[in-house]
A and B are shown apart, each in its own frame.
Chain A
Amino acid sequence: MSKMLRKGLALAALGLALIGGQAMAASEADEPRAPSGGWNFDGPFGKFDMAQLQRGYKVYREVCSACHAMDLMYFRNLGQKGGPFYDPKYPNPNDNPYVKSLAKDIQVKDIDNDTGDPVQRPATPADKFPAPFPNEPAARASNGGALPPDLSVISKAREGGPSYIYSLVGLGFNAPVPAGLTVPAGKYFNPYFVGDVSSAWHGKGPAPKGGFISMPPPLAPGKVTFDDKTPSTVQQQAKDVAAFLAWAAEPKQEERKAFGLGAMIYLFLLTVIVYFSYRRIWRNVSH
């Protein structure tokens, strides 16, 4: 591509020269795959599997939360309708004893009311999930310069949603590194991670799809012990945490679909009634 074109494009749409220069240079990744059997929360009638959400929360809490914040999540969300630990006996999730005990195990920062000193205290359901790092530089410093993204809406923020998360952490790290690819120190090759590995490619043919990710393989067989005795394979952990993150990205999506069904039926009946009114009113008009 000529320099002139680059310049022209930069002028034409500002900053879009960036796109122009990189669009053809890969930036491709493997199409994310859903686990076999798909997601049971897919489709207009899909619902979350509560046991799966509970396992997924455990994976997040014991593995992901070491580096990834979920700034939009409160412990009470876990006990709200449609949440992993919803109990109809406690319509106010702040009263849910299980959620209370989950929160109590986590320490959050607070200010001592009498002295004004910063203190740590056990969380309550009204507290946010605490962030693992106090600020962005601290997060980067602990992760080799990379910033672990907030996971609150990650399922909506990535093309492919839960299938992307499942593929990235459940399948991608198991894929063998293609011969001829030099993986930089502190990085890991993942075919589902959007990136460009062409500069590190010395093999035959076009560079493989995928990218170098700074996150080490987070999951391992048996790393999380599931309370319901579900075998703790990497794929199981990935599947469950992806479902949990899909729920967390929009905790009211079951409510949305249920409300939608009523709205669609209502609108459909209204449409039929109005159609027959239309036919009746117009029956004597030749047009």
Chain B
Amino acid sequence: MSGHSTYEPKTGFERWLDTRLPIIRFMNDTALDFPTPKNLNYWWTFGGILALMLGIQIVTGIVLAMHYVPHVDYAFNSVERIRRDVNYGWLIQFMHANGASMFFLAVYVHIFRNLYYGSYKAPREVLWILGCVIYLLMIITAFMGYVLPWGQMSFHGAVVITNLIGALPVVGKSITTWLWGGFAVDDPTLNRFFSLHYLMPFVIAGVVILHIWALHVPGNNNPKGVDVKSKADTVPFHPYYTVKDGFAICVFLLMYATFVFYMPDVLGDAINYVKANPLVTPQHIVPEWYLLPFYAILRAVPNKLMGVILMFAAIAVLFILPWLDTSKVRSMRYRPTARLYLGIFFLACLVLGFCGANPPDQPILGHEPSGFMLLDADINSIVWLSRIGALYYFAYFLLVMPILGLTETPLPVPEGISEPVLSHPAAAPTGAAAAPEKRG
């Protein structure tokens, strides 16, 4: 789809520049005339929303860094000073803190859209892997950013997570000490987290450029999951998708603004308004909402090292997803059974999130444990619920995806974006279903 350029330099300067650095041609071909399937729905607007959120986080972050003091004695108060004494500091700080949540909300929608419409499948594997890299970098960045206000949860969250590295055999302890810059989470840790928190977004921006590059080689997937056949299937990105993305961005900003202006603290933990105190451990140490499912997987395993491995595996498994899914049909519009399993997967993620937010031995039903111990924990406890959730999480990727693609009978897939399903002879209502290996 990319390749041919529609750009024609109009002025003398443009012609001069075009033979030296064809940057206007590049911008034109990637952001204006780029042919885009005409049937993209609103789930496809989250890429633009994510680009905007990255921009907002970088801009607000740069301003915050002008006022923030990365020192254990001053960090907490400097954040409060930004809110109290810096002109519009409250706005910038709340935008940044809530922006992280909005960023993750958008990335989760973006990921689930991929899972539903099979956008990770050939020829978009590299595009998907780059997306996974961005997601991993986002998690690392958000974690370090959460440490910076130096509240109770910042500090103790940092202690818990950095200690996980210590579970590695032989080298664990040395690596942890190296990460901390000392023998505990302290001033050197805060300083390096600040430095890296400032660096990472630019690394993300770099990978985003690769992500967009990898998108522009095969072009967008679309809700039907079939390849673009002709120019009639596409519209130029501008103005068609700039305006559609623009509308979605406005709606998203309305929601974002509701949080920033009317409930800026609702997504955070009250205890992070208490200055970090290494000697007082909060009763419940929980990460921000967007990391709760991984936290639940970590706690589901009785062995610390195995828990850490499984938690990282939960993200690592995403990288090999294109090769785990054996179905050649991209869009789940034509895979009703797969749709059901994906629905349960979504539910499992929510359940894991719930488990991550609650203490492990809290009963699920009623207020009392059942009294029946299954192996090491009461059957009526968060531990077992998170184990069921974690089991399904991995089973979905490692069992459902490979097996279902080979065994299911997908619905007839349309030949092209512009043609309806029934116009195709193979899809005549005689019950002749498309073979699973038939490429949509």
Tell me the A residues contacting B by CB distance below 8 Å: 1-2, 4-5, 8-9, 11-16, 18-20, 22-24, 27, 44, 71-72, 77, 149-150, 152-153, 156-159, 249-252, 255-257, 259-261, 263-264, 267-268, 270-271, 274-275, 277-278, 281-282, 285, 287
Contact = CB atoms under 8 A, between A and B. Distances in A.
Given A153-B273, A158-B270, A19 B285 contact: yes
Nearest to B263: A44
Contact of B304 (A12, A252, A257, A278): A12
- Looking at chain A's contact residues, the main secondary structure is helix
B89 to A, nearest CB: 8
B27 to A, nearest CB: 20
Contact of B283 (A1, A27, A260): A27
Q: Which residue among A252, A260, A268, A274 has the maximum number of chain B CB atoms within 10 Å of its CB?
A: A274
B268 to A, nearest CB: 9
B257 A281 contact: no
A208 to B, nearest CB: 16
27 contacts: A5-B377, A9-B361, A11-B303, A12-B301, A12-B302, A13-B160, A13-B307, A14-B164, A19-B284, A20-B360, A23-B361, A27-B283, A72-B80, A150-B275, A152-B80, A158-B270, A250-B90, A251-B84, A252-B90, A256-B261, A259-B91, A260-B257, A264-B257, A278-B247, A282-B243, A282-B244, A287-B38
A256 B361 contact: no
Contacts of B362: 23-24
A19 B382 CA distance: 12
A156 B244 contact: no
A285 B264 contact: no
Given A259-B261, A270-B250, A282-B240, A16 B271 contact: no
Interface residues on B, range: 35 or more
B37 to A, nearest CB: 9
Interface of B: 38-39, 77, 80-81, 83-84, 90-91, 94, 156, 159-160, 163-164, 235, 239-240, 243-244, 246-247, 250-251, 253-254, 257-258, 260-262, 264-265, 270-271, 273-275, 281, 283-285, 295, 298-304, 307, 359-363, 369, 373, 376-378, 383
User: Which A-B residue pairs are the 3 nearest by beta carbons?
Assistant: A260-B261, A8-B302, A157-B273
A263 B261 contact: yes
A255 B91 CA distance: 10
B84 A252 contact: yes
A117 to B, nearest CB: 26
B270 A156 contact: yes
A285 B418 CA distance: 11
Nearest to A9: B360
Contacts of A278: 243-244, 246-247
Contacts of B84: 72, 77, 251-252
A271 B270 contact: no
A275 B274 CA distance: 44
Contact of B77 (A71, A158, A271): A71
A287 B240 CA distance: 12
B83 A250 contact: yes
Nearest to B239: A281
Contacts of A256: 90-91, 94, 261, 264
Nearest to B307: A12
A82 to B, nearest CB: 12
A257 B261 contact: yes
Nearest to B368: A24
Contacts of A15: 156, 159-160, 281, 285
Nearest to A154: B273
B264 A12 contact: no
Contact of A156 (B250, B251, B273, B369): B273
Contacts of A20: 359-361
Nearest to B238: A281
Contacts of B361: 1, 5, 9, 20, 23-24
A22 B284 CA distance: 10
Contacts of B163: 14
A65 B376 CA distance: 50
Nearest to B244: A278
A63 to B, nearest CB: 22
Contact of B274 (A44, A157, A249, A250): A157
B283 A19 contact: yes
Contacts of A274: 243, 246-247, 250
B283 A22 contact: yes
A5 B159 CA distance: 22
Contacts of A9: 299, 302, 360-361, 383
Given A274-B246, A278-B246, 10 more contacts: A9-B299, A15-B281, A18-B281, A19-B359, A23-B283, A72-B84, A77-B84, A251-B84, A278-B244, A282-B244
Nearest to B163: A14
A255 B301 CA distance: 47
Nearest to A149: B274
Contacts of A250: 83, 90
A23 B285 contact: no
B80 A153 contact: yes
Contacts of B275: 150
B376 A4 contact: yes
A5 B246 CA distance: 52
A8 B301 CA distance: 8
**Residue among B90, B240, B261, B373 with the highest chain A CB neighbour number at 10 A:** B261
B258 A271 contact: no
A250 B244 CA distance: 38
Contacts of B81: 72
Contact of A5 (B90, B251, B257, B376): B376
